[in-house]
Amino acid sequence: MAFNSKYKRSSSSNFNFFITLFFLILFTIPAYFLLHKPTTCTTLTKAWSGDLRLAEFAWNKLQFLEHNPSPVPLKIAVFSRKWPIGTTPGGMERHAYTLHTALAQRGHKVHIFTSPPQEETTSFSSSDTINHQPDSNAPSSPYIHCHEGEPGKWRYNKAWEQFLEQNQKEPFDVVHSESVALPHWLARDLPNLAVSWHGIALESLQSSIFQDLARRQDEPRSPDFEKGLHGVLPKILNEIKFFGNYAHHVAISDSCGEMLRDVYQIPRRRVHVILNGVDEDDFSEDVESGKEFRTKIGIPSNASLVLGVAGRLVKDKGHPLLHEAYSRLLTKHPNVYLIVAGSGPWENRYRDLGSQVLVLGSLSPSMLRAFYNAIDIFVNPTLRPQGLDLTLMEAMMSGKPLLASRFPSIKGSVVVDDEFGFMFSPNVESLLEALLEVVKEGKEKLARRGKACHGYAFSMFTATKMALAYERLFLCIKDDKFCNYH
């Protein structure tokens, strides 16, 4: 009987695994072929006109009148889980700060509803507001409303109460939810809502697959892998069902826009592609600061090449790939250096590779600018297929070429020309092959690629370009007459 009981449990487990695998294949393979169709995202060569809601390409390609004031000053509500107050912000926080600060500077009243900042002994009441600008004629910055509670912990119900209070005083023209900061069952009642997606469940599923494929043969599979598969499939199904409740969707890459339209079945008029942007005043070419930074951190003047990577040092950012590929590269090219900017579990593993690797931890904005100018090429080995890290754009704005994972989001929206850098499949062998190509090419050719990167980034990825695109979308949400583009 014990044997039979054990056999039944084993059979049940295998049955559940194969059911999961079936649905995994059902959703992943069609999406894979859909997202890997040839995509072009080069700058438009002819004028485009029509209803902006029907444009399936990134609005960053369009020319909006940068120096003209907005025809209508808007009151904008923004729900963001975190806001960079006195902390080192993550990518989504930096995006939110850059975008909404730029909109406020263009004369819009931007109200940020967010969690208390992560500072010791800091507490907030529900009425606390930071950086409130009493003089509406003065240069503006966003109004920050931090709800009460534990620092850094997002409580959407408290933020919603603050929103309702402000909305009653003067209704908001548009509401912007950064990713899933505002739950769909609340957001579905807002006809003037735009939600921007920095990650979706289908991406998490794909990322899990690529992380497992990157596992070494002698490395055991994570016990959370199968558990995660069981949990993510219902989440994908739920997303497909409730995404339709949101009035407008902003995709941060061309491939994400395709996925929302074709896999999540959202009508094209409600999906808008606006690529992220970075502050053009913060990230630019500065040769001297790069030289000073190299000297400061101890890069020898005779280094043959300097690679750079930045961001969270975690598995889904591809650090197992880079760690292994770079360690192999060192055996043939010991004079190639790697600067690692960021913090996380892989810090000590990088330090163990030797003196050619400099692990700097999280950098302040000014240090990050110098970091980009100090390297010869920026490496982004991400294992997140739908991700579009700001670091890619920051490096390009700083005049650096890219070495990045060959995913549709990056290939279709960033590395749209071979001149901008190198791409590799998300495995060690492909990354090592690309690294060897980079070394063979050398500093001078990489510098020429960097010039091309800077030109393209300045035309597509500036904070100004991003803010103008969002402004036009928000105006369109307020009044259909602004949806026409000539």
Domains and CATH numbers, the chain: 50-279+464-485 (3.40.50.2000), 287-460 (3.40.50.2000)
CA distances from 477 to 112, 269, 270 (A): 19, 12, 10
Count CB-CB contacts under 10 A for residue 42: 9
Each residue of 47-99: pLDDT tens digit? 688 999 999 999 999 998 877 888 999 999 999 998 886 556 667 788 889 99
Q: Which tokens go with 415?
A: 């590395």
Interstrand relation of 248-251 and 336-341 (parallel, antiparallel or unpaired): unpaired
Mean pLDDT of 344-369: 93
Say if residue 134's pLDDT is above 90. Answer: no
Would you call 139 exposed, middle or buried from its count of C-beta atoms within 10 A (0-12, 13-18, 19+)?
A: exposed
* Section 334-348 average pLDDT: 95
- The answer on pLDDT for 41 being more than 60 is no
Range from 9-23, 233-247, 429-443 that averages highest in pLDDT: 429-443
Structure tokens at 111: 């109200």
pLDDT digits (tens, 9 = 90+) for 432-441: 999 999 999 9
Q: What is the pLDDT of residue 341?
A: 96
Q: Does 24 score more than 60 pLDDT?
A: no
* Mean pLDDT for the stretch of residues 408-414: 92
Of 18-27, 182-191, 218-227, 386-395, the poorest mean pLDDT is in 18-27
Rounded to an integer, the average pLDDT of 15-23 is 47
Percentage of the chain modeled with pLDDT above 90? 61
From the number of C-beta atoms within 10 Å of its C-beta (0-12, 13-18, 19+), residue 392 rates as: buried
Mapping DSSP onto H, E and C, the string for the chain reads CHHHHHHHHHHHHHHHHHHHHHHHHHHHHHHHHHHCCCCCCCCCCCCCCEEHHHCCCCHHHCCCCCCCCCCCCCEEEEECCCCCCCCCCCHHHHHHHHHHHHHHHCCCEEEEEECCCCCCCCCCCCCCEECCCCCCCCCCCCEEEECCCCCCCCCHHHHHHHHHHHHHHCCCCEEEEECCCCCHHHHCCCCCEEEEECCCHHHHHHHHHHHHHCCCCCCCCCHHHHHHHHHHHHHHHHHHHHHHHCCEEEECCHHHHHHHHHCCCCCHHHEEECCCCECCCCCCCCHHHHHHHHHHHCCCCCCCEEEEEECCCCHHHCHHHHHHHHHHHHHHCCCEEEEEEECCCCHHHHHCCCCCEEEEECCCHHHHHHHHHHCCEEEECCCCCCCCCHHHHHHHHCCCCEEEECCHHHHHHCCCCHHHEEEECCCHHHHHHHHHHHHHHHHHHHHHHHHHHHHHHHHHCEHHHHHHHHHHHHHHHHCHHHHEEC
Q: How is the beta sheet containing 271-273 ordered, strand by strand?
A: 129-130, 143-146, 109-114, 75-79, 174-178, 193-197, 248-251, 271-273
* pLDDT at res. 461: 95
Angle between helices 2-35 and 201-213 in degrees, nearest 10:
110
User: What is the rounded CA–CA span in Å between residue 312 and residue 269?
Assistant: 35
pLDDT value at 6 more than 50? no
pLDDT band at 419 (very low <50, low <70, confident <90, very high): very high
Place of tokens 């908001």: 172
pLDDT in tens, 163-206: 999 999 999 999 999 988 888 888 888 999 999 988 777 777 77
Closest CA to 96 of 390, 446, 396: 390
The pLDDT score that the predictor gives to residue 137 is 41
pLDDT on residue 204: 72
- Neighbouring CB atoms inside 10 A of 344's CB total 16
Which residue carries 């995994």 as its tokens?
A: 24
pLDDT > 50? residue 135: no
The mean pLDDT of 369-388, rounded to a whole number, is 91
Of 16-25, 116-125, 159-168, 372-381, the one with minimum mean pLDDT is: 16-25
Q: What is the mean pLDDT of residues 273-298?
A: 94
pLDDT the model gives residue 119: 62
pLDDT for the residue numbered 128: 42
- Upper half-sphere CA count for residue 432 (Cβ side, 13 Å): 16
pTM, two decimals, is 0.84
Taking 70 as the threshold, does the pLDDT of residue 280 lie above it? yes
Residue 20 has pLDDT above 70, yes or no: no
Output the average pLDDT for the chain: 84
Beta-carbon contacts of residue 297 (< 8 Å; ≥ 6 apart): 339, 358, 360, 374
Among the ranges 6-10, 232-236, 371-375, which has the highest mean pLDDT value? Answer: 371-375
